[in-house]
Chains A and B, each alone.
Chain A
Amino acid sequence: MGPVVIQADGLGKRYRIGQRQPYLALRDLIGRALGAPARMLSKNGNGSGGKEKNFVWALKDVSFDIQEGEVVGLIGRNGAGKSTLLKILARITRPTEGSAEIHGRVGSLLEVGTGFHPELTGRENVYLSGAILGMKKAEIDRKFDEIVAFSEVERFLDTPLKHYSSGMQMRLAFAVAAHLEPEILLIDEVLAVGDLAFQKKCLGKMGDVARTGRTIVFVSHQMNQIRRLCGRVLWMEGGKIRETGPAATTVGDFEAAMTSKSDTSIHGSENAKAIFVRWEIMEPRSDEANVLRTMGEVKIKFVVQVRRPVKMAQHGVSLRNSDNQLIWALATDHIDLEVGEQEFCYTFPSLPVRPGAYSWHVSLYEEGDQLDAWDCMPAMNVATENYQHARDEWNGVLNVPCEFAIEEGMKVGS
């Protein structure tokens, strides 16, 4: 890895609550000035006691290093501080505290079509938007034909932008953005629009950019996009970095946390004859017993603590994805269990489910009475390689490698 190009040190951003809503008008100011003597007379005033309450920290104590050539994903719920962080790095807003140091030219793509003007033609807008996004005129001149070809709107180049369909505007905007070549690129969720084919093209272009060794910081809510493009992920929550790590692991943990767990099972009751105590992936064995990284054989065990002998029990197991969709389930009857720790082991030739967070559920009944039912913790994090469509909404349940080929069919009429 190269030298550190972005170094954030204790970044924090405080907003005044309501600061973004009402615009001040001079009349408010005048009104306030007139009211001031009255407020001064009534001594209790609105002192400094309640001051902190009017502020909210959108970002707090955020520190990280990003090295040259890294593609880093920023994930987290809405309001977690991702966009604020990006805006600080892009110098659009200043931090309230802390500092950051950036080595290299920064380009920011926080919106599609930044600087577009509806009255200007497509050609004029390419120049305007390009210049606003940080390109030099000579650079736009050089790339102009390429940009136009990429946008697929050659025919309308001299038409005012206001006559473009929104799809065409988007294409043109992307085409400009895709040809931006700063050393550090900050991208906020802009790829979540546009039609499928064009989006693939943009993703391809972005992948190219990443491979040329540029540093990219990328905010997205499309987790598979993050998995595919990013090497490392910063997961933000409540204005802080909750976790940082390789994309597959951190995205999985994030998805697991988002899957709201309402533990309604009667797991772990004191006087139960037997309870489930833990689960893990036995084979292949790794440091993280809940992370699956292989497409090959998998052995999973559920450990049961048997307090009193159990006769003729039924045991059920099920696997659900983060949308709570049932992936697979199995039930087994006629189980006898001795006192002590017993292990229920399942061996699969392969678990070809798409990367993400999954939850196991296991249960144990004796003659119709539930002894235990457990939503297994932690969730299983599938971090295998992704063999999926480029768009999240076309990502299926299965994740299987497959070969595609076009072969010559039988000749007709020969």
Chain B
Amino acid sequence: MSATAQAEMLPKVPPMRIVPQSNWLRIDFGELWHFRELLYFFVWRDVKVRYKQTVVGAAWAVLQPFLTMLVFTLFFARLAHIPVGGMPATIFYYSALLPGMYFSSSLLNATNTIVENQRVITKVYFPRLVLPLAATLSGLVDFGISFLMFVAMMIYYGIRPTYAILFFPLFLLLALLTALGFGLWLAAMNAIYRDVRYVVPFLMQFWMFASPVVYPSSIVPERWRWLYGLNPMAGVIEGFRWSLSGRGEPPGKMIIASSLMVLAVLAGGVAYFQRMETTIADVV
């Protein structure tokens, strides 16, 4: 086959210019779409490797939130009598642990993603955004498995979902964007400052107590609720609780504050990440 015949078969790609600086405020969605299969393979790799390296495999995704839920129920609900918003304590905690654990594991994975893939990064080009994106997406598999446990619990308690469940996908999306937004910042920072990854687990502990995991956000005075919502996980967790159990009240003002915060973090994260991306291969 001659060169020209070959070239005619393939769609022409526009000429690519290599220049010193990129426009780091712009996301090239066309390029991301072009690399969607690679994104899929990175997610697939993360999931495969994670389950191959563990003894109990997928059961881990259930055990972790379930055992945590039992401990919380015993200490916070039974012994400390912290209010649980008019629902079974187990449901109260588990519905918060679902997004909480997804968030912390995705964030940790996203933080490490540039450093862990440094060999690939220094040998082949692809939009680096694919890596933290894959880290946050692959966390959804664990999330899905632990969600099945939640469904079983709902059936056990005979709780029927209400119309509120229709909002659940939005809260899940908000959780994903929260993890991605902060993940972009931390991934970029970790590439430059290697001890960021040790800070993150520590950070997550504080974050959990700053979020309504073991207590309802109703203990925060009404007029400070929007400020509390600037922690996007507060909005996400209350949203999960309300949409899944159908009890309590919709998170209203809090979710607006959380959404705006996430958009700001995400936009800043993309810009910071892409700025770092231009020098990443020289640093890692």
Query: Hey, which bits of chain A sit against chain B, CB under 8 A?
Result: 2, 15, 19-20, 23-27, 29, 68-69, 87-106, 108, 110-111, 114-115, 117, 119-120, 124, 127-128, 131-134, 136-137, 160, 183, 212-214
A131 close to B53 (CB less than 8 A)? no
Query: In whole Å, how far is A5's beta carbon from the nearest beta carbon of chain B?
Result: 9
Q: Which of B38, B52, B196 contacts A26 (CB 8 A)?
A: B196
User: How does the 8 Å CB contact mask read for B107-122 relative to A, with 1 for contact and 0 for none?
Assistant: 0000000000001111
Given A94-B21, A94-B22, 8 more contacts at CB 8 Å?
A: A27-B195, A68-B3, A102-B17, A104-B7, A114-B119, A119-B48, A132-B126, A213-B4
Q: Which residues of A contact B62 (CB under 8 A)?
A: none
* Most chain A CB atoms below 10 A, which of B21, B41, B53, B123: B123
| A18–B242 CA distance with the chains assembled, in angstroms | 54
A29 — which chain B residues lie within 8 A by C-beta?
Answer: 193
Q: Are B18 and A131 in contact (CB under 8 A)?
A: no
With A26-B195, A105-B10, A127-B41 as given contacts, are A96 and B124 in contact (CB-CB < 8 Å)?
Answer: no
Q: Can you list 28 A-B pairs with a CB-CB distance of less than 8 A?
A: A19-B282, A20-B282, A23-B193, A25-B195, A69-B3, A90-B125, A91-B18, A92-B122, A92-B125, A94-B20, A94-B278, A99-B17, A100-B17, A100-B18, A102-B16, A102-B18, A111-B119, A115-B120, A115-B124, A120-B52, A128-B45, A131-B37, A136-B37, A137-B37, A160-B52, A183-B7, A212-B2, A213-B2
Given contacts A117-B49, A128-B45, A183-B7, whether A105 and B196 have CB atoms under 8 Å apart is no
CA distance A134 to B124 in the complex (A): 9
The answer for the CA separation of A105 and B15 in the assembled complex, in Å, is: 9
Q: A111 — nearest CB in chain B belongs to which residue?
A: B123
Q: Is there a chain A Cβ closer than 8 Å to B281's Cβ? A: yes
Q: Are B18 and A101 in contact (CB under 8 A)?
A: yes
- Mark each residue of chain B from 4 to 29: 1 if its CB lies under 8 Å from any CB of chain A, else 0: 10110010010111111110000000
- Our count of residue pairs bridging A and B at CB distance below 8 angstroms stands at 132
* Structural contact, A213 and B45, CB atoms closer than 8 A: no
Say whether B194 faces chain A, with CB atoms less than 8 Å apart: yes
| A132→B21 contact, CB < 8 A | no
B20 CB contact (under 8 Å) in A96, A104, A128, A132:
A96
CA distance A81 to B273 in the complex (A): 27
- A51–chain B nearest beta-carbon distance, Å: 18
Query: Hey, which chain B residues are within 8 Å of A23, CB to CB?
Result: 193-194
Question: Cβ of A114 and Cβ of B19 under 8 Å apart?
Answer: no
Q: Is B199 an interface residue (CB 8 A)?
A: yes
Q: Give Cα distance in the complex from A61 to B192, angstroms.
A: 29
Q: Does B1 make an interface contact (CB < 8 A)? A: yes
Please give the distance in Å from A112's CB to the nearest CB on chain B: 10
Given contacts A99-B19, A102-B15, contact A132 B282 (CB under 8 A): no
Q: Determine if A128 and B41 form an interchain contact, defined as CB atoms under 8 angstroms apart.
A: yes
User: B79 contacts the other chain (Cβ, under 8 Å)?
Assistant: no
A110 to B120, CA, bound (A): 10
Q: Is the CB of B3 within 8 A of A214?
A: yes
The one of B20, B37, B124 in contact with A90, judged by C-beta atoms closer than 8 angstroms, is B124
Cβ contact of B15, chosen from A20, A95, A103, A214, cutoff 8 A: A103
The answer to whether A95 and B195 have CB atoms under 8 Å apart is no
A137 cross-chain contacts in B, Cβ below 8 A: 37, 40-41
- Give CA–CA (A115, B123) in the complex, Å: 9
The answer to whether residues A119 and B194 also contact, given A90-B124, A134-B124 and a CB cut-off of 8 A, is: no
CA of A2 to CA of B49, assembled, Å: 45
Is residue B283 within 8 Å, beta carbon to beta carbon, of the partner chain?
yes
Closest chain B CB from A123 CB (angstroms): 12
In the docked arrangement, what's the CA distance between A170 and B275, Å?
Answer: 35
- Whether B124 pairs with A133 at a CB distance below 8 angstroms is yes
Residues of the A chain whose Cβ atoms lie less than 8 Å from the Cβ of B195: 25-27
Contact with A along B60-86 (1 / 0, CB 8 A): 000000000000000000000000000
Which residues of chain A come closer than 8 Å to B40, judged between CB atoms? 137
Give Cα A97 to B194, complex, Å: 29
- Please determine whether B281 and A92 come into contact, CB atoms closer than 8 angstroms: yes
Of all chain B residues, the one with the shortest Cβ separation from A88 is B18
Interface centre among B6, B37, B119 (most CB of A within 10 A): B37
Query: When the two chains form their complex, are residues B123 and A95 in contact, meaning their CB atoms are under 8 A apart?
Result: no
Bound-state CA distance A103–B193 (Å) is 37
Nearest first, the 8 closest Cβ-Cβ pairs linking A and B are A213-B3, A91-B125, A131-B41, A100-B18, A93-B281, A23-B194, A110-B123, A111-B123
Q: How far is the CB of A301 from chain B (nearest CB, A)?
A: 45
Which B residues are in CB contact (< 8 Å) with A25?
A: 193-195
Least CB separation from B284: chain A residue: A23
Rounded to whole angstroms, the CA-CA distance of A101 and B4 in the bound complex is 20
Q: Which of B13, B41, B121, B195 has the most CB of A within 10 A?
A: B41
Q: Which residue among B17, B18, B279 has the maximum number of chain A CB atoms within 10 Å of its CB?
A: B18
- Give B278's nearest chain A residue, CB to CB: A94
CA distance A88 to B281 in the complex (A): 10
Please give, as numbers and ranges, the residues of chain B lying within 8 Å of A90 by CB-CB distance.
124-125
Chain A residue with Cβ nearest B18: A100
B120 in contact with A132 (CB, 8 Å): yes
Closest residue of chain B to A92, judged by CB?
B281
A1 to chain B, nearest CB (A): 11
Q: How far is the CA of A111 from the CA of B124 in the complex (A)?
A: 9
With a cutoff of 8 Å between Cβ atoms, the chain B residues found around residue A104 in the complex are 7, 13
Contact A110 B124 (CB under 8 A): yes
Contact A89 B41 (CB under 8 A): no
Decide: A212 and B123 in contact? CB cutoff 8 A: no
How long is the Cα–Cα vector from A64 to B18 in the complex, in angstroms? 14
Which residues of chain B come closer than 8 Å to A99, judged between CB atoms?
A: 17-20
Cα of A151 to Cα of B84 in the assembled complex, Å: 60
Give the shortest distance, in Å, between A115 (CB) and chain B (any CB): 5
